[in-house]
Amino acid sequence: MRLPDEQLRAGHIPADLYRQIPPGTDLRRVVIIQEAPRSYTGPIVLTLVIAAGSIAVLLVIAFVTQIIAASIVSVLSASCGIGYTISRTSKRKKAPRALSK
């Protein structure tokens, strides 16, 4: 019986609680009520739901933005003959500099 919880379950009254009991009280009729241990599953699940929801919202925004951009380009190319091309150009590699003393 090392922990206070074990002492309370065995019927022992810890010294700090014993001092708070008024004199003349029958200790056999004293009931000590313990607070339930805190559960962390609720806050953890809430955090995961918020993170997943924010990621889903960002993906939907990106998808909608892509559709809007594609529709604008298609409307402009069909009506005005303007085209838009996305090109990926590689950056030129710089020539290594000569070391000077």
pTM for this model (two decimals): 0.46
- Annotate 46-69 with b (16+ C-beta within 10 A) or e (fewer): eeeeeeeeeeeeeeeeeeeeeeee
Taking all residues of the chain, what is their mean pLDDT, rounded to a whole number? Answer: 78
| Percent of the chain whose predicted confidence (pLDDT) is above 90 | 29
Q: What is the pLDDT of residues 24-66, one digit of tens each?
A: 888 777 777 777 778 899 999 999 999 999 999 999 999 999 9
Question: What is the predicted pLDDT for the residue at 12?
Answer: 67
Helix, strand or coil for residue 62?
helix
Distance CA(65)–CA(59), nearest Å, equals: 10
